Structure 1
Amino acid sequence: MKSILLHVGDDRGFEGRLQAALDVARSFGAHLTCMQPRRIPAYFGADAAGFGAGAALVAELIEEETRAGRAVRNRIEADLSNEDVPFSWEEGIGEPADLLIAASVLADLVVMSLPAPGETPPASVAEVVVRADTPVLAMPPAARGLDVTKPAMVAWKPSAESAKALRAAVPLLARAASVTIVLVDTPEGGDLPPTDAARYLSRHGIRAEVEDRRTGGQGVTAALQQAARDLGAGLIVMGAYSRSRAIEFLLGGVTKDFLESSPVPLLMAH
């Protein structure tokens, strides 16, 4: 991992994901690219009451947004100048997820934040995971950096998405104190059994244990989160949306649950 893309914003989760991006960059001697999206308010013209100052108001809002964005950039660049990580800056106007996806084509990892309960995320992790071809490191709102040496857990499901996430995570898994592949209520054998995943990792010099868990009536998400706590995991690796994303958001699913309440940082791929 030599090119890390960081979503820059003035939200509560930024400091945590900044520290995580720096942790990863230091671990791999990587370059940090800071992407700062800016939304510009749309101009819809005068309203039915004859309000005619719309253009002037929008121009003022744009200027305010520009000033605020410049202040954020100045502050962050000043902080980064004291770090031992090379960095560069990009900015764009538009939806944050769209800009991050466009900037990710030559990145090895995108670092974003999960929202706190009841909050609207500054950028949609789900959008970036599904539409980008680059894995996403999604940081919980309370996380303050990423300890790459802590145990790692792979939430395994026999799917192409799980396999893609596993491949993307190899550099991080190689630095973890231990790696455990956890499957929940999944029958042994068949296509892509967890033993195949462990064998794949072994070829990269990574020893992984396989652990089978049962839901016991508590659901797959709860079983995986309990496993992460039991293992002391500092990172969960999982594939995203192995069924239709629309169906998962309508009916619920493991990906949706973890995007809403992951106990530890997530590395996700689709």
Structure 2
Amino acid sequence: MSCQDILCVFEPTQAGLPPAFAQAVALAKAQQAHLTVVPVSVISRAPGSAISAALVSGMLKTVNDQVRAATNVSAQAAKEALALSGLTYDVNVHEGIMLDLGDWIAKAARSVDLTVVDRPSNAIEASELFFERALFSSGRPVLVASPEHMSEAVRKATLAWNGSAVAARALGEAIALFPSLKAVDVVVVNGEKSLANALPGTEIAQHLARHKIEVNLIEAPVVSGSIAATIDEVATRAKSDLIVMGGFGHSRLREFLLGGVTAEITALARLPVLFAH
């Protein structure tokens, strides 16, 4: 098994095609996978009151038209870039209000091997919504692209290991998605919490060795009180192609709030991060 069907979803910006697009293209080339690219227009609707709707409808139309135009520009740019890539691909535009986009991305992510999204920077932007719903509502893995590093082929990974079921699932997804994976650093961060009842790192290292994957078991002290910074430092120093970890978190009244380490590693990782939940 390998990654044969990749979805890349992003909200267009004036900065051009985002890191998620470049990362998705690189992985699709390495795997000879089909790539579906979807620039998304996040549109606004007038409030329910007829009076207030009349007051803002003209302004909203102008804003929405600008958003749709930017989306079409991104779609055209993606088509032009992909035309020279040698890949099989689709470029589709999608639009909706923020609340509806959550259900859409969850469903879209279920029918692919991997969804690639951009790094979210705050809890009210579309990239946070795409990440949160693709991860927690699709049942499929999600790769968060890094603006600092783009990995072409995945040969070495750093696994953030705490013995949890979601960490085990993330590892399984990485092995299945990337047959090119030859080496894994299994990182156990000392002092984050009691791991007395967790599956030891030595046992998961044995499992990887049976897959003919070179294993390096690392017990790392917490750097500056941050588990996420510790994982990032170890992975960057080892020149891994990506970080692999289980995604913890929850949605509360659709505010898209993530668990501490998940949110922190998403915000600061210098490498792409593969999450599974």
Distance in structure 2 (CA, Å) of the matches to 1:55 and 1:120: 22
Distance in structure 2 (CA, Å) of the matches to 1:163 and 1:39: 35
Distance in structure 1 (CA, Å) of the matches to 2:213 and 2:23: 22
Among candidates 127, 132, 136, match of residue 130 of structure 1: 136
The residue correspondences of 1:76-91 to structure 2 (distance < 5 A) are 76-91=78-93
Distance in structure 2 (CA, Å) of the matches to 1:111 and 1:28: 14
- Higher deviation after alignment, 25-34 or 118-127: 118-127
Distance in structure 2 (CA, Å) of the matches to 1:135 and 1:71: 28
CA deviation after TM superposition for structure 1 residue 60, in Å = 4.3
Deviations 1:29-48 (A, max 9, x none): 11001123222211125556
Q: 3-state DSSP class of the match of 1:183?
A: strand
Aligned equivalent of 2:146: 140
Does structure 2 conserve the Cα–Cα contact (< 8 Å) formed by 1:40 and 1:62? yes
Among candidates 150, 156, 163, match of residue 161 of structure 2: 156
Relative to structure 1, the CA distance from residue 40 to residue 252 in structure 2 (aligned partners, 3 Å threshold; closer, same or farther) is closer
Distance in structure 2 (CA, Å) of the matches to 1:216 and 1:15: 30
Relative to structure 1, the CA distance from residue 251 to residue 179 in structure 2 (aligned partners, 3 Å threshold; closer, same or farther) is closer
Distance in structure 1 (CA, Å) of the matches to 2:135 and 2:258: 19
Give the partner amino acid of 2:152: D
Distance in structure 2 (CA, Å) of the matches to 1:217 and 1:66: 44
Aligned equivalent of 1:32: 35
Confirm or deny that 1:21 pairs with 2:24. Answer: yes
Give the partner amino acid of 2:81: D
Confirm or deny that 1:101 pairs with 2:106. Answer: yes
Structure 2: gaps of 5 or more residues: none
Distance in structure 2 (CA, Å) of the matches to 1:20 and 1:216: 28
Give the TM-score, by structure 2 length.
Answer: 0.81
Does structure 1 conserve the Cα–Cα contact (< 8 Å) formed by 2:161 and 2:187? yes
Give the TM-score, by structure 1 length.
Answer: 0.83
Q: 3-state DSSP class of the match of 1:123?
A: helix
Does structure 1 conserve the Cα–Cα contact (< 8 Å) formed by 2:250 and 2:259? no
CA deviation after TM superposition for structure 1 residue 111, in Å = 0.5
Distance in structure 1 (CA, Å) of the matches to 2:6 and 2:70: 24
Confirm or deny that 1:229 pairs with 2:236. Answer: yes
Deviations 1:131-180 (A, max 9, x none): 2211111012333x313245310010111110111111114554245211
Confirm or deny that 1:9 pairs with 2:16. Answer: no
Distance in structure 2 (CA, Å) of the matches to 1:52 and 1:213: 60
Distance in structure 2 (CA, Å) of the matches to 1:52 and 1:15: 36
Q: 3-state DSSP class of the match of 1:38?
A: strand
Does structure 2 conserve the Cα–Cα contact (< 8 Å) formed by 1:173 and 1:179? no
Give the partner amino acid of 2:91: W
* RMSD (Å) for aligned C-alpha atoms: 3.0
**Aligned residue pair count:** 263
The residue correspondences of 1:246-261 to structure 2 (distance < 5 A) are 253-261=260-268
Aligned equivalent of 2:274: 267
